[in-house]
């Protein structure tokens, strides 16, 4: 039965949903639960403060938008701007820069455990609007790209990577500019991956780790086709 009574408990939104094509980035501190259990509260809050400052500065420098902080995680988006239609390229650059800065942060914290992050990236159409009760946060984002980026960040550790990107973002970056070829060459295709909440798999790429890198050591061996070879067959 459908009620004819007016609904008084509906939470309104402030504007009509807007469709945008954007790159999405989730960044999350690794092993944060263990850090909370093992480290004193002052050290945990200090780490969160440094982490949020670092990510905020780097995202801003790549002309991204901070959507929200979620405990030890950050959600950011990158859209094309008037003079720079290169949102995927800027997203990849931002993710790499965050890893560099996290390494510096970890080296500075000699009295506690090393710090590392996992990053998930994807590009696609996203609906945005602002829910009235959360208007002091960033806009609410709805779309497959948001969900995929979040799931890839969660599975980065099991994939032996710190940056994992969906194929849509890699393909978009490959079309934007030849200048980012060196960054793309560092990614390897690891094939389709089933992610929670999605019926069809996502083609996934991960940043290749090298012994001279700032990435985590003792990671599982890499497998898959380098992006330089695979993109030649997958251009759309």
Q: How far is CA 40 from CA 34, 46, 112, 131, in A?
A: 11, 10, 11, 36
Residues 98 and 143: beta-carbon distance below 8 Å: no
pLDDT digits (tens, 9 = 90+) for 79-137: 987 777 899 999 999 999 999 999 887 766 665 667 899 999 999 999 888 766 554 45
Range of 45-59, 183-197, 206-220 with top mean pLDDT: 45-59
Which DSSP state fits 135? T
Considering just the CA atoms, what is the radius of gyration of the chain in Å? Answer: 19
pLDDT of residue 44: 87
Counting Cβ atoms within 10 Å, is residue 19 exposed (0-12), middle (13-18) or buried (19+)?
exposed
Backbone angles phi, psi at 152, to 5 degrees: -65, -40
Q: How far is CA 41 from CA 36, 46, 231, in A?
A: 7, 8, 46
pLDDT digits (tens, 9 = 90+) for 14-25: 667 888 899 999
Spatial distance between the Cα atoms of 209 and 186, rounded to a whole number of angstroms: 8
pLDDT of residue 223: 41
**187 vs 7, more confident:** 187
Structure tokens given for 3: 């009620």
**133 vs 26, more confident:** 26
């Amino acid at each position: 039965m459908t009620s004819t009574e007016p609904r008084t408990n509906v939470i309104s939104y402030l504007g009509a949903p807007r469709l945008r094509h954007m790159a999405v980035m989730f960044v999350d501190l690794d092993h944060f639960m263990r850090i909370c259990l093992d480290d004193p509260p002052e050290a945990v809050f200090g780490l969160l403060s440094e982490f949020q400052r670092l990510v905020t500065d780097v995202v801003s420098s790549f002309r991204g938008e901070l959507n929200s902080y979620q405990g030890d995680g950050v959600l950011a988006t990158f859209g094309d701007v008037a003079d720079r239609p290169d949102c995927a390229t800027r997203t990849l650059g931002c993710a790499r820069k965050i890893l560099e800065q996290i390494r510096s942060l970890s080296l500075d914290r000699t009295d506690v455990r090393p710090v590392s992050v996992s990053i998930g990236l994807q590009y696609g159409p996203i609906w945005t609007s602002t829910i009235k009760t959360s208007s002091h946060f960033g806009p609410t984002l709805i779309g497959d790209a948001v969900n995929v980026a979040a799931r890839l960040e969660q599975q980065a550790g099991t994939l032996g990577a710190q940056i994992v990107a969906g194929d849509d973002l890699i393909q978009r970056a490959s079309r934007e500019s030849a200048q980012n070829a060196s960054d793309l060459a560092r990614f390897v295709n690891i094939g389709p991956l089933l992610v929670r909440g999605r019926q069809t798999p996502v083609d996934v790429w991960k940043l290749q780790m090298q012994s001279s890198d700032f990435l985590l050591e003792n990671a599982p061996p890499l497998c898959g086709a380098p992006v330089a070879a695979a993109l030649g067959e997958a251009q759309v």
